[in-house]
Chain A
Amino acid sequence: METIVFALLNGVIYGLLLFMLSSGLTLIFSMMGVLNFAHASFYMLGAYFAYTIMGATSFWLALFIAPILVGLVGAVVERYGLRKVHANGHVAELLFTFGLAYLIEEIVKIVYGKTAVDYKIPSLLDFPAFTIYGASFPAYRMFMLFIAIGMLVGLWFLLKKTRAGLIIQAALTHPHMVGHLGHNVPLIFMTVFGIGCALAGLAGVIAGNIFVTDPAMAVLMGPIVFVVVVVGGIGSLEGAFLASILIGLLQNFAVGISASFADIFWFTGLSPTSEIGDITVSSLAPVLPFLLLVLMLIFRPRGLMGEQEL
């Protein structure tokens, strides 16, 4: 029973974290048609910036400043890099962000070293929040949950309830018309790119200390975020949300199941010592998102909520 409760909680938290990353990616993609390959690198930058700021001041300051810094870096990248490459088409843009991901990783390696940095959970939140069935649940994870929900509400409010959100939504579909109405469309693009990167940075700030903050964290996270975006339906925020939660739950439940293929497919007479029979569901967890991607592409190519087949 506690396995289910914990997997549920962790799954939702991980899912919301994925959504923090994939929402920015989806917004940027549907607005500019750019798939930001370096998106997970901004997530990594968030964690590293927070580590530096936390060393100098406190975690609470880092929580606000690091995402803003990451957002600014993103805006600069858009203004001086992407905008220049834009003329050469989407493939060039994708390649640019691919190269950028490479560069960010190498620069991080030079500045912070190749091994993981000691980015800790703030001591204020380092206690068990509650105990069920004899196992305790860390308070920091609850804090992550609240931050993620806060971000979700904030993003929803920004996009649906404010004038700026209205203009952003209009610019998603009709950038020329928005331009004719006198809005500075390139500035909107830059802002959205910045916000998207800041969200990724925020995810890095709150996840970097619970996972590991090392130069490989971008490479580990990046492909999963892409899977979320494709499974959710490219360009759909709702889809990205569903897919994030789905993948979060799927992975966390799979980790908790120690049954092997031989146990599950006992009726086929699969031997537990054979190579396939020996595979456990928990060892399958890291592969599941990609398996989901392939299945999705075969059976429902437009994704969960995608409007058209791309």
Chain B
Amino acid sequence: MSDVSQTHASLAPSSAQKFRQRFLPFLVFGAILLLIPMTDPSRTMYALMHQMAIYIVFALAYNMLLGKGGMLSFGHAVYFGFGGYLCMHAMNWIDDGGVWGAFPTFFLPVLGFVGGAVSAVVIGSFSTKRSGTTFAMISLGVAELIFAGAFMFDSLFGGEQGISGDRMNGPEVFGLSMGPQSDIYWFMAFWTILSVIAMYAFTRTPLGRLSEAVRDNPQRVEFIGYNPQRVRWLVFSISGGFAGLAGGMSAVNYEIFTPEALSLIPSGFVLIMAYVGGITYFAGPIMGAVLLTYMSSMMSDFTEAWLLYLGLMFVLIVMYAPRGIAGIVFGFWDGIRGANSAELLRKWSVQLLGCLLMLIGLIILVEVSVRWSNGWGEAFEPFGLHFTHADIVTWIAIFVPIVAGGYVLRLATREKEEMPA
């Protein structure tokens, strides 16, 4: 050790660093949210942004479990759903008047938080006794139980039609009638920024730190006198609460909730979102939520097989980029500022070329197959090209890029291995 004068205080980040790392991103995020309405978005844009906002909160809540707590849940939509359902019922109570009549719809997500958290406390009391794979299986079983059970209690879950309500009742706050999309935008912006800040603040609390410790080494946490089960339970409950908050946002946005919202499909979607975004970064799930919501609404217009692309992207990220899109973005950012940026850039462009080539072949393969399977004799016609499954040119256009791309990628990895460590 050359630097013996290193102390706790000298290791601490300077206030400029603190500002840059802890406050600036939120200021930028807040500024973007404030600026968006000035571009006068269309109705579809608003709808898309509201969906993004819901998923940002949901994915961050999910990552509180997976990324920070190391708990892989296949049924987190249960808490999203419980929060949402409570809000739907509350919306109808507001409509009925009485004591509830004085409750503004704007604050319904608070109830969503309560609903999600309470259900997570109850279910977490037995499910968080385990971690890892067992926890994952339990979460799946509980989710199936609740989803199947939801159809038995129509007065609570509304059966197939679900429960609907009207968000425009109750007193106005901040001058928002909650009717038009632009009013809902402010509602979404408010709750998104509030929950993002709250969840970031949570990662800096002792409990947030402990949950990371429990993820990495539960035994040592036990040695220093904490109960890992209790920590998991607490984190699980808070995460369930934020999921419920997202459910409340969704309830106000769509004014309807069906039991489908509790099923394994949204649970799987939020898992994919958080993981694709990058679970080791706080911002990862935000990126994942924005990207995947955008993809799900845009790509489903272009291709029938978009779920296949989604699955493929997920598997590839699990295999080759376990730190997700955030990992790629931050890795790229650090790389171009690092010492041998030219070398890295060259390597990345070769890899990018290989990936793009394979992607071209793959897209043609998938799109031609989809049309072949539909059996309407339709051809895949990108940019005025014409691909049919009976044409040999199509198969050349599929396999040549895939093989060439694979070869380029192989070259790139071999180079990496030859480089001195």
Interface residues of A (CB under 8 A from B): 29, 33, 35, 81, 84-85, 88, 90-92, 94-96, 98-100, 102-103, 106-107, 110-113, 219, 223, 226-227, 229-230, 234, 275, 279, 283-284, 286-287, 289-291, 293-294, 297-298, 301, 310
Contacts and interface: CB of A to CB of B under 8 A. Distances in A.
A35 B140 CA distance: 13
Nearest to B275: A95
Contacts of A33: 133
Interface in B68-98: 70, 72, 74
B311 A106 contact: yes
13 contacts: A91-B72, A91-B133, A94-B133, A95-B72, A102-B268, A110-B370, A112-B373, A223-B140, A283-B152, A284-B152, A290-B148, A293-B138, A293-B141
B264 interface: yes
B232 to A, nearest CB: 14
Contacts of B353: none
B305 interface: yes
Contacts of B149: 287
A81 B319 contact: yes
B145 A290 contact: yes
Given A81-B319, A230-B137, A279 B307 contact: no
Contacts of B140: 223, 226
B327 interface: no
Most chain B CB within 10 A, of A85, A91, A113, A283, is at A91
Given A94-B133, A297-B138, A99 B369 contact: no
A96 B275 CA distance: 11
In this complex, the member of A100, A286, A287, A301 whose beta carbon has the largest number of chain B beta carbons within 10 angstroms is A287
Contact of B141 (A107, A111, A219, A226): A226
Contacts of B213: none
Interface stretch (B33-41, B124-132, B355-363): B124-132
B318 interface: yes
B126 A291 contact: no
Interface of A is mostly: helix
Contacts of B318: 85, 88, 92, 95-96, 99
A54 B329 CA distance: 49
Contacts, number: 117
Contacts of B319: 81, 84-85, 96
Nearest to B151: A283
Nearest to A303: B134
A102 B264 CA distance: 12
B305 A275 contact: no
A95 B71 CA distance: 12
Contact of A293 (B145, B152, B155): B145
A106 B305 contact: yes
A219 B264 contact: yes
B312 interface: yes
Contacts of B142: 290, 293-294
Contacts of A234: 134
Nearest to B75: A223
Interface in B194-211: none
A286 B149 CA distance: 9
Contact of A106 (B129, B136, B145, B308): B308
Contacts of B308: 103, 106-107, 110
Interface string B5-41: 0000000000000000000000000000000000000
A107 B370 CA distance: 9
B101 interface: no
B154 interface: yes
Interface in B107-139: 126-127, 129-130, 132-134, 136-138
A62 to B, nearest CB: 21
Nearest to A274: B155
A250 to B, nearest CB: 14
Contacts of B155: 275
B104 to A, nearest CB: 31
Identify the interface centre among B142, B148, B307: most chain A CB within 10 Å of its CB. B148
B268 A98 contact: yes
Given A103-B308, A297-B129, A287 B145 contact: yes
B58 interface: no
A230 B136 contact: no
Given A103-B311, A103-B315, A94 B72 contact: yes
Pick the most buried of A84, A88, A99, A103: most chain B CB atoms within 10 A of its CB.
Answer: A99
B144 interface: yes
Interface string B252-281: 000000000000100010011001000000
Contacts of A275: 152-155
Given A85-B318, A103-B312, A103-B315, A230 B373 contact: no
A95 B268 CA distance: 10
B307 A106 contact: yes
Contacts of B290: none
A102 B144 contact: no
What 10 pairs across the A-B complex have the smallest Cβ distances? A290-B145, A102-B311, A106-B308, A99-B315, A293-B141, A103-B311, A99-B314, A287-B148, A223-B144, A35-B133
B85 to A, nearest CB: 15
Contacts of B268: 98, 102
B413 to A, nearest CB: 12
Contact of B133 (A85, A90, A294, A301): A90
